[in-house]
Amino acid sequence: MSFKSIYGFFICSLLLILTACSDADKEKELVDLFTTASQDLIAIDFPAGTTQDTISINTFVDYKIEGLKSNGIDVIPLNDNITWSLSAGAISTIDQNGRLSSGSVAEVVTITAKFGILTTTSDVFVSAAKFDRVIMLNSTPVHVNMCQAEQIEPIGSYLNDDGTEEIRPVDNTIINTITWIIRNQEDDTPSQRAFIKTENDLTELQALEAGNVIIQAKAMSLSSGNIVTSVDFNQTLDHNLNSLKLCLRSETDLAACSLSNTDITENAVVSLMAVGNYQATDGTTLNQNISAYSKWGTDNNSSSTIAFSADRQQLNVTGNTQNTTTNITVACGNIEQTVLDSEIENGVVLDVPVTCASGDINCLPSTAAINIVDTTVTSLDVTANGSALVDDTPLALSFTPVTIILKVTANYSDDSSQDVTTDTNVIYNNRSVPIIIGIPASPGEYTVLTAGEADIQIIFQSQIFIARITIP
Amino acid sequence: MGLATSLMDIRTDTGSTSPIMADISLGYAMDAHKIELVVMSSIKDDNLNQLITDIPIASSLLYRFTATPRNSLHLDLILGYSQVDIEASYVNVPGFTESYQGVSFGFGLEESLKSIPALKFKIDFIQLYRGDQLTINSYNVGFRYEF
């Protein structure tokens, strides 16, 4: 090996070593500034109501933090780049996902979350008191309407060895072990009006009907070693449901959507949702997807197959047999059909129609026909006064017309097309009433009232076209 | 002797800023070898949301080896050592100043102007500092006059 190559090797090695040396300590503060600035934050904190003053030994709590943006108003959740730590000497531990695992002895720990240059802390007392029983369904009264769900945080009684009592939320290690008993208040019979479900350590009260129920919590008392059942918790399941309708799951405007029938081909799937219109206490109304807690049925389970999606936010209808029709029914409340307890837990989907008893105000139904056809509409072409429209894209007119006349052409899966403007199954939703108004008995024809943007939603067999026309 | 404009890139895993600097260099060239001292001064700071960063001054001692001496377009391999001073300010936080030193390396392209062969147009990319969590790069465009 020559002197030159040894010399070159030495220089390169030296430079590589120098490259590897960096001012790590000096970098930290600048890097922290960048981390904080990347999210544009000025402060971080634990979200309100997410921290607990006291938790039990040998349990765990997942902590999250949120950041306050520099505008002082917006708050965002933070999931990454958080450094979690506990006060020195803590027996409990915390991982870098924010999960505090409490130790086996009582202690006070301070949890510190650091995001860039920002930090926040929370003190927690790890208590050796043992869970005895659930004493409250939730720290505050629970208000829930039929076919809705509310998260609850059961409160438990914890007993120390000296007999002193602590009242606090039930730990994550206990919450999953509680058996909930629900009875009808008027006759004390087992109730299907509600269901309590705990998933991922979160508990929610699902209301399936209106009425009054009695709820009890049964669990193993770590204090006594016995199974203990709580006192009765009286709970009202409110009504406040004005109406129920069916819509395509793809609809985003829950106020305007509607569905009376649609076509699908064999083996195709259409997804439906049940939309409930609720009355709020402030006099306003609210539209909500209540598919999960509604009860579904079909009058022809050979024509099509129905099933909930995994998250129960939609009902999937699969066409089985061409040239047949399935009537999908949905109801919120006390239906006439018998429902199994397992269906109350997993979602009610029956192979018969669901019906409400005549005059029963605690049951609201809706229905839609699904036609299994050999061809289906793949798209809609729409013109306004002869000019082609692009879906959900405004067409600016150069002059103000007296009327707007739409022409709707349906394109089918077999490559055929058909003018369906006057087809009774075409739904025209005029969402711009002060601008244009429909001409009676003339589908797709409108009288222009004033300047502005006309907005008409056209629905035909699960195809949706938004016609927008800017009128000068 | 050289004059150039530098776009600096202060980069971390979570964000970056790009202050602009003017640099002046003085050096000595012999055949394919050049050694130069570069001093850079701030023209414009840059911000990432509420974080304002600036490099008031940076300096480098660089060795440049021309890998293609016979071509009109010279490719230079650059190796040296740099010091970069960074100032940063953030809302509700006291001002921050720190100096970073480290080995620098990069490459450059240079071509003589046909009308004035001693005047060369150059483009350089140099990684001035490479740390565990922080990298400082410079992208330079300018001229070099060889006496």
Q: pLDDT of A132-175, one tens digit each?
A: 999 999 999 999 999 999 999 999 999 999 999 999 999 988 99
Q: Taking 50 as the threshold, does the pLDDT of residue A9 lie above it?
A: no
Asked whether the beta carbons of residue A117 and residue B103 sit closer than 8 angstroms, the reply is no
Q: Extract the tokens encoding A264.
A: 């699908």
* More confident site: B147 or A207: A207
- Residue A265 CA to its chain's centroid (Å): 30
Closest residue to A117, CB basis, from B48, B49, B93: B93
Q: What residue has token string 């004059």?
A: B3
A23 touches chain B (CB under 8 A): yes
Asked whether the beta carbons of B7 and B127 are under 8 A apart, the reply is no
Q: Residues A227-241: what's their mean pLDDT?
A: 97
How big is the A-B interface in CB pairs under 8 Å? 85
What distance in Å separates residue A133's CA from the closest CA in chain B? 47
Q: What is the mean pLDDT of chain A?
A: 92
Predicted confidence (pLDDT) per residue in A335-372, tens digit: 999 999 999 999 999 999 999 999 999 999 999 999 99
Q: What is the pLDDT of residue A16?
A: 52
Asked whether the beta carbons of residue A35 and residue B130 sit closer than 8 angstroms, the reply is no
CA distance A29 to B133: 11
Cα first-last separation, chain A: 87
Lowest mean pLDDT among A12-16, A163-167, A467-471, B128-132: A12-16
CA distance A330 to A70: 47
Q: Residues A222-233: what's their mean pLDDT?
A: 95
CA distance A469 to A389: 8
ipTM for the predicted complex comes to 0.92
- Which residues are paired to B3 by β-bridges? B24, B143
Q: What is the pLDDT of residue A7?
A: 46
Nearest CA to A249 out of A310, A315, A304 is that of A315
Q: Taking 70 as the threshold, does the pLDDT of residue A23 lie above it?
A: no
Residue of B nearest to A28 (CA): B133
Percent of chain A with pLDDT over 70: 95
Asked whether the beta carbons of A394 and A468 are under 8 A apart, the reply is yes
Instruction: Write out chain B residues lying below 8 Å of A34, CB-based.
Output: 12, 14-16, 48, 51
pLDDT band at A17 (very low <50, low <70, confident <90, very high): low
Q: Taking 50 as the threshold, does the pLDDT of residue A20 lie above it?
A: no
Predicted confidence (pLDDT) per residue in B71-111, tens digit: 888 899 999 999 999 999 999 888 889 999 999 999 999 99
How buried is residue A261: exposed, middle or buried, by Cβ count under 10 Å (0-12/13-18/19+)?
middle
Buried b (16+ CB within 10 A) or exposed e, A308-344: beeeeebbebbbbeeebbbebbbbbbbbeeeeeeeeb
Asked whether the beta carbons of residue A33 and residue B96 sit closer than 8 angstroms, the reply is yes
Q: What is the pLDDT of residue A265?
A: 85
Top residue of A11, A13, A15, A27 to mutate, by most chain B CBs within 10 Å, is: A27
Closest residue to B103, CB basis, from A18, A26, A70: A18
pLDDT band at A263 (very low <50, low <70, confident <90, very high): confident
Instruction: Write out chain B residues lying below 8 Å of A12, CB-based.
Output: none
* Helix, coil or strand: residue A35: helix
> In B, what residues contact A, Cβ < 8 A?
10, 12-16, 48-51, 79, 81, 86, 88, 90-93, 96, 98-103, 105, 129-134
CA distance A289 to A208: 14
* More confident site: A133 or A10: A133
Count of alpha carbons within 13 Å of A94, Cβ hemisphere only?
24
Q: Taking 90 as the threshold, does the pLDDT of residue B112 lie above it?
A: no
Q: What is the pLDDT of residue A261?
A: 86
A34 touches chain B (CB under 8 A): yes
Q: What is the pLDDT of residue A14?
A: 55
Q: Residues A434-446: what's their mean pLDDT?
A: 93
Q: What is the pLDDT of residue B30?
A: 85
Asked whether the beta carbons of A288 and A148 are under 8 A apart, the reply is yes
Q: Which of A444-448, A457-461, B66-70 has the highest mean pLDDT?
A: A444-448
What is the dihedral sign for C-alpha A66, A69, A72, A73?
negative
Q: Residues A312-323: what's their mean pLDDT?
A: 92
Cα first-last separation, chain B: 8
Asked whether the beta carbons of residue B91 and residue A19 sit closer than 8 angstroms, the reply is no
Percent of chain A with pLDDT over 90: 82
pLDDT band at A412 (very low <50, low <70, confident <90, very high): confident
Q: Residues B30-48: what's their mean pLDDT?
A: 92
Instruction: Write out chain A residues lying below 8 Å of B101, CB-based.
Output: 23
Q: Taking 80 as the threshold, does the pLDDT of residue A452 lie above it?
A: yes
Q: Does an H or E element contain A461, and which?
A: none
Q: What is the pLDDT of residue A1?
A: 44
Q: Taking 90 as the threshold, does the pLDDT of residue A267 lie above it?
A: no
Q: What residue has token string 């040296």?
A: B80
Top residue of B49, B127, B130 to mutate, by most chain A CBs within 10 Å, is: B49
* Helix, coil or strand: residue A50: coil
Q: What is the pLDDT of residue A384?
A: 95
Instruction: Write out chain A residues lying below 8 Å of B49, CB-based.
Output: 37-40, 70
Q: Residues B131-145: what's their mean pLDDT?
A: 94
Asked whether the beta carbons of B6 and B20 are under 8 A apart, the reply is yes
Collect all residues with Cβ–Cβ distance below 8 Å to A167 and sequence separation of at least 6.
A135, A155, A156, A157, A158
Instruction: Write out chain B residues lying below 8 Å of A79, CB-based.
Output: none
Count of alpha carbons within 13 Å of B32, Cβ hemisphere only?
13
Q: Which amino acid is at A164?
A: T
Buried b (16+ CB within 10 A) or exposed e, B128-145: bbbbebbbbbbbbebebe
Nearest CA to A259 out of A244, A238, A281, A241 is that of A244
Angle value at C-alpha A96, between A93 and A98, nearest 5 degrees: 70
Backbone angles phi, psi at A422, to 5 degrees: -100, 10
